[in-house]
A = this chain, B = another copy of it.
Amino acid sequence: MTLASSKLCAEPDSKARLRLWLRLLRLTRGIENNLREKLRLEHATTLPRFDVMSALSRHADGLKMSELSGVLRVSNGNVTGIIDRLVEEGHVVRVPVKGDRRASAVKLTPQGLSEFATQAAAHEAWIDKALAGLDAQDAQHMADQLSALMTEGERHGA
């Protein structure tokens, strides 16, 4: 620790944070590219489509299109196109929204739920392998540190 500590003293903290940022970016990009490839090859699907089904799987009563768009800010997919396709395939169905006769929401069909369960299990296993170098406690500790950063960032509008 002595060498590392003396090195850290000799440079501003911003250098260590910049180094961390570059590694965060490289690791997440690497894992993400890997996930895209595996989803395509092994499940004939895409990351935005997986993200949509994942969001729907957490909302048994369905989600409005506007709510789904928020989910996809992350993966930059075209929600309408993805939903149209999922409806055609029988994975998703449109449902009325209580108290708003003109609006509709979408939810997974039992077939869609079952297909997503298969994909989600594979996804969890890939991530488990990619992050196998961290035990559960280290992973939890890092996740907590990242959460604290996010909360702070949101507080400061950063």
Residues of A that sit less than 8 Å from B by CB = 4-5, 8, 13-21, 23-32, 34, 74, 124-125, 127-140, 142-143, 145-150, 152-153, 156, 158
Report A133 CB to chain B, min CB distance, Å.
5
Q: Is the interface of A mostly helix, strand, loop or mixed?
A: helix
| Distance A19 CA – B138 CA, assembled complex (angstroms) | 12
B147 touches A129 (CB 8 A): no
Give chain B residues whose Cβ lies under 8 Å from the Cβ of A32. Answer: 25
User: In the complex, which residues of chain B have a beta carbon less than 8 angstroms from the beta carbon of A129?
Assistant: 156, 158
Measured CB to CB, the closest approach of chain B to A36, in angstroms, equals 12
Count the copies. 2
Q: What chain B residues lie within 8 Å of A27 (beta carbons)?
A: 24, 146, 149-150
Q: List 16 A-B contacts (CB under 8 A).
A: A5-B137, A13-B139, A14-B125, A16-B139, A17-B131, A18-B124, A18-B127, A21-B31, A23-B143, A23-B146, A24-B27, A24-B146, A25-B74, A27-B150, A29-B74, A34-B158
Given A14-B127, A18-B128, A127-B17, A134–B149 Cβ distance below 8 Å?
Answer: yes
